[in-house]
């Protein structure tokens, strides 16, 4: 049964833009396009689902900096700067709050190797002009008394905040509806190409949605849509993440909170984070597994997260475990997103955001709306053109964005 929700007198049957995928990236693209005056539709059986249901929502441009990702850092910082105004506008437009918490982050080291790794990260952050402060173990515990006594030092990053991705997705869906975006609650199964141009999509329920332009924003599934020519299909792959949700204790009046900021560490080579939400949830994540489309929550995944989180904050084993879940990050060959026009006229990509989908939501929405409205990708988004993966791109480095060059 077709369950398209249309808004009378707002969205024509053939919208200017059809967005395939109603996760954070698809929704923000449709909303910002509608704000720019374009008529838009979204095809997704369950808008607001996908990785947004699982993600912890760290806005960690500085604490998640990696060697070789300098260009991505520029986009991450641009999006982080945009977050406060973006949240204000979204909350104003919808009357919903999205759990944007300006609490900062503390990255800690549990042993000498972690400490050396964090020292290197601190040096890289400083060279990149970013603000972070080295703390001794004792200073870390003074900030977060629940930390394990063995913490050897840490990095305080006061500019890395958090948002609640589930509430963000819900608000974006509302913002879309209020801006007249039509929702087709069915999966796109085939891109329609007409006269050498993307012209819409065919949905699993049999609906055909013609559109002036199409944006493929289906996360990990973006590389699997029939009808997209091989040379244009985005090279995204699913990277599984398992995540736990615990319930924070009510602290007696006057006592410090269980955790007052995001706490993260690298434990046994894998990143671990604890994100305390204002609604009393503590998100613990995440595994990183290259297992194809599998989204099983495994005993081993839960065990490892709890074991490592317990090493960091021993008191967590007293907390109620309220949810376990797993999702798929859309990984790309250079860990950076693909934004903007493809070699097939009328078809754009907004996918491959990998670990940074929540952080990159505002800048992606603005970049996509700009290119859809004017045909021009803004300067800051140009390094992320899908053309960098095109077979026609020159040289052996064609599958790497500029940030992949060693620094
Ligand atoms: N950005 C956190 C994660 O992907 O696990």
CA dihedral 222, 373, 88, 48 (to 10 degrees): -20
Q: Are 216 and 229 in contact (CB under 8 A)?
A: no
pLDDT tens string 170-198: 999 999 999 999 999 999 999 999 999 99
Largest CA distance in the chain: 68
In 3-state terms, what secondary structure has residue 389?
helix
Atom nearest to 286 CA in ligand 1: 5
Domain spans of the chain, in order of start: 1-101+162-236+332-407, 105-158+238-331
* 52-56, 220-224, 250-254, 351-355: range with lowest mean pLDDT: 250-254
**Ligand 1 centroid vs 288 CA: distance in angstroms?**
8
Residue 241 alpha carbon, nearest atom of ligand 1: 5
Which ligand 1 atom is nearest residue 56's CA? 2
Give the pLDDT band of residue 255 (cuts 50, 70, 90): confident
Ligand 1: residues within 6 Å at CB?
A: 58, 241, 285-286, 329, 355
* Distance (Å) from CA 179 to ligand 1 centroid: 30
Q: Give the confidence band of 241 by pLDDT, cuts at 50, 70, 90.
A: very high
Please report the pLDDT score of residue 97 as a whole number.
98
Residue 254 pLDDT class (50, 70, 90 cuts): confident
> Residue 295 corresponds to which tokens in the numbers above?
């989204």
What spacing in Å lies between the alpha carbon of 344 and ligand 1's midpoint? 31
pLDDT reading at 401 higher than 60: no
Contact 332, 236 (CB under 8 A): yes
**Among 52, 54, 57, 58, which is best to mutate for testing ligand 1, by the most ligand atoms less than 8 A from CB?**
58
* pLDDT tens readout for residues 260-298: 999 999 887 788 999 999 999 999 999 999 999 999 999
- Please answer whether residues 41 and 181 qualify as being in contact, where contact means their C-beta atoms are separated by less than 8 angstroms: yes
CATH entry 3.50.50.60 includes domain 1-101+162-236+332-407? yes
> Relative to the CA of 285, which ligand 1 atom is closest?
5
> Could you report the per-residue pLDDT of 111-141, keeping only the tens digit for each?
999 999 999 999 999 999 999 999 999 999 9
Q: What is the mean pLDDT of residues 380-386?
A: 97
* Range with the largest mean pLDDT of 243-252, 270-279, 358-367: 358-367
Distances 300 to 56, 270, 306 between C-alpha atoms, Å? 20, 14, 10
Residue 341 C-alpha to ligand 1 middle, in angstroms?
27
Answer whether 1-101+162-236+332-407 and 105-158+238-331 agree in fold: no
| Mean per-residue pLDDT of the chain | 92
What does pTM read for this prediction? 0.93
pLDDT in tens, 291-348: 999 999 999 999 999 999 999 999 999 999 999 999 999 999 999 999 999 999 999 9
Residue nearest to atom 4 of ligand 1 (CA): 355
d(CA 221, CA 330): 8
The pLDDT score that the predictor gives to residue 5 is 46
Residue 393: per-residue pLDDT: 56
CA distance 390 to 314: 48
Q: Whose CA is nearest to atom 2 of ligand 1?
A: 355
Is residue 161 predicted with pLDDT exceeding 50?
yes
- Atom 5 in ligand 1: residue holding the nearest Cα: 286
Return the HEC string of 339-378.
EEECCCCCEEEEECCHHHCCCCHHHHHHHHHHHHHHCCCC
Residue 398 has pLDDT above 50, yes or no: no
Mean pLDDT of 249-253: 86
How far, in Å, is the centroid of ligand 1 from the Cα of 356?
Answer: 7
Beta-sheet strands, E only, within 94-236:
105-109, 133-136, 153-157, 161-162, 182-184, 188-194, 197-203, 208-210, 213-216
- Neighbouring-strand partners of residue 341: 348
For residue 360, is pLDDT > 70? yes
User: Which pLDDT does position 392 carry in this prediction?
Assistant: 63
Ligand 1 center to 272 CA (angstroms):
9
- For the cut 90, the answer to whether the pLDDT of residue 8 exceeds it is no
Least confident interval from 4-18, 82-96, 145-159, 310-324 = 4-18
Ligand 1 centre and the CA of 262: distance in Å? Answer: 13
Q: Which of 168, 96, 167, 105 is nearest to 360 (CA)?
A: 168
Shortest-distance Cα residue to atom 1 of ligand 1: 355
C-alpha span between 335 and 338 (Å, rounded)? 10
**Can you give the pLDDT at residue 293?**
96
Q: Is the pLDDT of residue 1 over 60?
A: no
CA 121 to ligand 1 centroid distance, Å: 17
Q: What percent of the chain has pLDDT over 70?
A: 93
For the domain spanning 105-158+238-331, the CATH number is 3.30.9.10
What is the distance between the alpha carbons of residues 104 and 270, in angstroms, rounded to a whole number? 21
Number of helices (H), then strands (E), belonging to the chain: the values are 7, 19
- How many other CB atoms are found less than 10 A from the CB of residue 324? 16
């Amino acid at each position: 049964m077709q369950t398209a929700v249309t808004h009378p007198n707002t969205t024509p049957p053939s919208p200017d833009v059809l967005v395939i995928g109603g996760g954070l990236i698809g929704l923000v693209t449709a909303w910002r396009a509608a704000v720019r005056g374009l008529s838009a539709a979204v095809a997704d059986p369950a808008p607001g689902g996908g990785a947004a249901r699982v993600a912890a929502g760290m806005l960690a441009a500085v604490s998640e900096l990696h060697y070789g990702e300098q260009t991505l850092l520029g986009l991450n910082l641009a999006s982080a700067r945009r977050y406060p105004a973006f949240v204000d506008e979204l909350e104003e437009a919808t009357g919903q709050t999205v759990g944007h918490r300006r609490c900062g982050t503390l990255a800690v080291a549990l042993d000498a190797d972690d400490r050396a790794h964090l020292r290197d990260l601190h040096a890289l952050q400083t060279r990149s002009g970013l603000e972070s402060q080295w703390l001794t173990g004792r200073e870390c515990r003074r900030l977060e008394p629940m930390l394990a006594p063995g913490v050897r030092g840490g990095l305080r990053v006061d500019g890395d905040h958090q948002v609640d991705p589930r509430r963000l997705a819900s608000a974006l869906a509302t913002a879309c509806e209020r801006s007249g975006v039509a929702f087709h609650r069915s999966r796109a199964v085939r891109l329609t190409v007409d006269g050498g141009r993307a012209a819409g999509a065919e949905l699993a329920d049999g609906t055909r949605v013609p559109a002036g332009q199409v944006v493929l924003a289906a996360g990990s599934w973006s590389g699997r849509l029939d009808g997209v020519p091989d040379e244009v299909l985005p090279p995204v792959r699913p990277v599984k993440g398992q995540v736990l949700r615990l319930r924070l204790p009510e602290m007696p009046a006057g006592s410090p909170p269980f955790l007052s900021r995001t706490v993260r560490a690298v434990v046994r080579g894998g990143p671990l984070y604890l994100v305390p939400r204002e609604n009393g949830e503590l998100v613990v994540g995440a595994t990183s597994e290259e297992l194809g489309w599998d989204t099983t929550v495994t005993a081993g995944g839960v065990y490892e997260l709890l074991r490592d989180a317990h090493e960091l904050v021993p008191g967590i084993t007293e907390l109620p475990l309220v949810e376990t879940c797993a999702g798929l990050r859309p990984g790309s060959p250079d860990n950076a997103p693909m934004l903007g026009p493809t070699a097939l006229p009328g078809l754009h990509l907004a996918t491959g955001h990998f670990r940074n989908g929540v952080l990159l939501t505002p800048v992606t929405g603005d970049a996509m709306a700009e290119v859809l409205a004017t045909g021009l990708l803004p300067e800051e988004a140009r390094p992320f053109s899908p053309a960098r993966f095109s077979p026609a791109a020159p040289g052996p480095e064609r599958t790497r964005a500029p940030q992949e060059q060693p620094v």
